[in-house]
Amino acid sequence: MSHRVFNTFLVLLSTLFLQTAIQAGQFQLPVILPVGQQPSEVVIGNFNDLGGLDFAVTNSDSDTVSAYLGNGREFFLKDTITTGHRPVGIATGLMSPINKPDLVVVNAGDAQVALLKGDGRGDFNLRGRGHTGVNPHSIGLADFNMDGVTDVAVSNINDSTVTVLLGNADGSFQPGNTVGVGLHPVGLLALDLNCDGVPDIVTANSGTSQISILFGKGDGTFKRVRTLAAGSAPISLAFGDFNGDGKIWDLAVADSKANTFSVLLNNCDETFTSAKIYPTSFTPRSIVAADFNQDGKWDVALADPVNNRAVLFPGNGDGSFGTPSSSDAGQGPEFLTAGDLNGDGFPDMIAVDTAANSLAILINKGQP
């Protein structure tokens, strides 16, 4: 072996060692998957009848959604659908009881949502459209009028409103109801926050230090809007049972103008404990909750696009969090979602690396 070759060999060895050494977090080094231009959000679902979770990503500058099928080990591009102008938000669900899983996409450039009907084999066809407010962003699915057909809620950043579009069984939408929330809502979740069995809505209002909660009546309208304090400029929301009291809909909020995230514990009576603020040492862009280390306690993970990582805060089960650990999440992760992609019981993640036009698949290492 020549001196030069030997030196190269040493560099390779140390690089390998370094990669192993720096990946101290819960996740393996990411598998990078090139997608369309300026991907924005990804949703994990089960689009066909075969095992293995699948996912779909909005490519906001390509005006497309790409659907990938998984077999538990790898992912294959199955379908690319032209959705409308600048798709930014995406959700999956059964849009009527007899359906295969569908996709619903928020087209920010058109101020519309588009329903992409699934065929149960991983292909999708554009069906209904519905009108939103100006600069719609995040989407949540729930049956707000409790008629058995899934409905849609969308945050409208520029209007500071939420649009609720009641679904018809044929895949079309009724004209939207608009409800005012706080300034510039970005993140949105649709879930039952007062534990009465009727879906509600929560928004992260990025122009304030507040979140807004709309308590549903069960007929597609809302009885009241409650405003709660979070950290500075909240943009992204996650839910979980962070204090282990069996009430699953506690909220975790990523605060985009402070190096913090906030946790509000749910009393299930339309009140929450006041937000507890946790320091992050970076400005988070997206938050997701799951029991990543499978110790029976909900954890949160946040995207840190400046330092190219996902940071996991392990839950202590009492509403507080332990020492965070970092995992490489590709180049500039702007959005995170979680799901058990390889079926080993440990939640994995997908990070959207918007500027790099790629996704980073983060497989959970699996050991506690």
Would you say 41 or 348 has its CB closer to Ca ion? 348
**Among 111, 115, 169, residue whose Cα is nearest residue 145:** 169
Angle at 315 between CA 140 and CA 293, to 5 degrees: 90
Would you say 110 or 299 has its CB closer to Ca ion? 299
Minimum separation from the CB atom of position 365 to Ca ion (A): 9
Would you say 65 or 153 has its CB closer to Ca ion? 153
Interface positions with Ca ion (CB under 5 A)? 143, 145, 147, 149, 151, 192, 194, 196, 198, 200, 291, 293, 295, 297, 299, 340, 342, 344, 346, 348, 364
Minimum separation from the CB atom of position 320 to Ca ion (A): 12
Beta carbons within 10 angstroms of residue 28's beta carbon: 16
Angle at 83 between CA 47 and CA 92, to 5 degrees: 30
Minimum separation from the CB atom of position 41 to Ca ion (A): 21
CA distance 301 to 292: 9
Minimum separation from the CB atom of position 262 to Ca ion (A): 19
CA 290 from chain centre, in angstroms, equals 12
Minimum separation from the CB atom of position 215 to Ca ion (A): 6
Would you say 325 or 358 has its CB closer to Ca ion? 325
Would you say 123 or 192 has its CB closer to Ca ion? 192
295 close to 368: Cβ distance less than 8 angstroms: yes
CA distance 299 to 322: 9
CA distance 134 to 141: 19
Q: CB under 8 Å to 58, separation ≥6 — which residues? A: 39, 40, 41, 42, 64, 65, 83, 87, 88, 89, 90, 105, 106
b/e code 194-210 from CB counts within 10 Å (16+ = b): beeebbbbbbbbbebbb
Distances 285 to 1, 248, 312 between C-alpha atoms, Å: 49, 23, 14
Would you say 202 or 254 has its CB closer to Ca ion? 202
Would you say 272 or 346 has its CB closer to Ca ion? 346
- State whether residue 53 is helix, strand or coil: coil
31 close to 23: Cβ distance less than 8 angstroms: no
Phi, psi of 97 (to 5 degrees): -60, -30
Minimum separation from the CB atom of position 73 to Ca ion (A): 11
Minimum separation from the CB atom of position 258 to Ca ion (A): 25
Minimum separation from the CB atom of position 293 to Ca ion (A): 5
Would you say 29 or 61 has its CB closer to Ca ion? 29
- State whether residue 107 is helix, strand or coil: strand
Would you say 38 or 163 has its CB closer to Ca ion? 163
Bridge partners of residue 214, in order along the sequence = 201, 225
Minimum separation from the CB atom of position 107 to Ca ion (A): 21
